[in-house]
Amino acid sequence: MSTMIRLIAVLGLLYHISLVAETATLNPPQVREAPIKLQDSLPSWNEGVVKDAILAFLKATTEVGGKDYVAPEDRIATFDQDGTLWVEQPQYTKVVFALETHSGKAENEKQILVEAMTNMTVSQFYANVAAWLKKSVHPRFKRPYTQLIYQPMLEVLRLFRQYGYRTYIVSGGGQEFIRVYAQDVYGIPPEQIVGTSGKLKYEWQGDHPVLMKLPEILFIDDKAGKPQDIQLMIGKIPVAAFGNSVGDREMLEWTQSRPGLSLMVLVHHDDAEREYAYGPESKIGTFSEALKTEAEKKGWHIISMKRDWREIFPPANQQPL
């Protein structure tokens, strides 16, 4: 391109920017992530069937005029958290938090969870979780829990958003627990977190209203609870869903029931060296033979951590998303 054309382009663009600036108050800029080229977009993934399936799905559902095109307002992708976005072994992080912060009077796991997570305001709970996350480290990896997130899945989240999808977490973990760090760690805002929820109680403390966390369950966001809560909180059927255990089965079935193309993916933990290897025998993140059979029969994709992921965790000190 000649220098003159370049100059014209730059001058024109500057003029265009000045026009945009005039209406800046009226149209506040959307927070946008930098564009990613499709072929370079999953750098921590090895080449293979699952990577190809993700890229093909995104292309097919966003290509204007294509038979599998999905309107931007319907682009919903749901992600389980424990074992799908971050480490869930040797124990769910929420439970570790409860074990390390409860008051000491509790006698069993249920009481420990109640003591660590209820009978306080939502604000106090947020402060407790934030303080704990800052100082806690994983027993094996010696890193904060919020760094033990799967780099390949961070790339998937970012790529889906790049293609106009809204990425939701749909987790058996505590909704308010996840909200504390999900924006910083995954780039997912509070209103896109669906998780197990307790009842709240609005009341006044002195001259200001608060929301108290009551020791009563509103809903448990696991198994059949996942499609139920997706309907409650979103009111749309996801186009793509990612999980890793029998707790995600119904969410994937529900996703597949939509008319038109859908993508269902399960993470299989088969990498004892770099992370963990577990399956039907594990109480946490059970990946049963029945689930494997259903996945194969229905065309759900299974990620082998060992085979499909070049990296497991982000480099230490990586900037949050």
124: left (phi over 0), alpha (psi -120 to 50) or beta: alpha
**Closer of 148 and 240 to its own copies (Cβ):** 240
| Non-local CB neighbours of 282 within 8 Å, separated by 6+ positions | 89
Contacts of 108 (CB under 8 A, 6+ apart): none
C-beta of 33 vs 109, nearer to its own copies = 33
Dist. CA 287–CA 82, nearest whole Å: 13
Q: Is the CB of 5 or the CB of 316 nearer to its own copies?
A: 5
Residue numbers of the site for its own copies (CB under 8 A)?
5, 8-16, 23-32, 35-38, 59, 62-64, 72-73, 122, 162-164, 175-176, 179, 189-191, 193, 197, 199-203, 208-209, 211, 218-219, 224-225, 227-228, 231-236, 250, 253-254, 257
We find the least distance from the C-beta atom of residue 16 to its own copies, in angstroms, to be 5
Q: How near is the Cβ of 189 to its own copies at its closest, in Å?
A: 6
Distances (CA, A) of 25 to 17, 19, 20, 219: 14, 12, 10, 41
Token pair belonging to 215: 């020791």
Q: What is the rounded distance in angstroms from the CA atom of residue 70 to the CA atom of residue 76?
A: 10
Residue closer to its own copies by CB (options 24, 316) is 24
Nearer to its own copies, 149 or 178 (CB): 178
Q: What CA–CA distance (Å, rounded) separates 215 from 117? A: 8
The distance of Cα 36 from the centroid of its chain, to the nearest Å, equals 20
Kindly state the smallest distance separating residue 63's Cβ from its own copies, in Å: 6
Minimum CB–partner distance for residue 229 and its own copies (Å):
8
Three-state SS across 101-169? HCCCCCCCHHHHHHHHHCCEEHHHHHHHHHHHHHHCCCCCCCCCHHHCECHHHHHHHHHHHHCCCEEEE
In three-state secondary structure terms, 171 is strand
145 or 160: CB nearest its own copies: 160
19 vs 316 by CB, closer to its own copies? 19
Q: Which is nearer to its own copies, 16 or 274 (CB)?
A: 16
Tokens of 257: 């029931």
Smallest distance from its own copies to CB 10, Å = 7
Which long-range contacts does 215-221 make (Cβ < 8 Å, 24+ apart)?
Answer: 215/114, 215/118, 215/119, 220/172, 220/196, 221/170, 221/171, 221/172, 221/175, 221/194, 221/195, 221/196, 221/197
- Closer to its own copies by Cβ: residue 94 or 269: 94
Quote the least distance from Cβ 54 to its own copies, whole Å: 15
Q: Please, what is the minimum distance in Å from the beta carbon of residue 64 to its own copies?
A: 7
For 321, the enclosing helix (H) or strand (E) is: none
Query: Minimal distance in Å, beta carbon 37 to its own copies?
Result: 8
In the three-class reduction of DSSP (H, G, I as helix; E, B as strand; rest coil), residue 204 is classed as strand
Q: Which amino acid is at 17?
A: I
For the bound state, the minimum distance from the C-beta of residue 218 to its own copies, rounded and expressed in Å, comes to 7
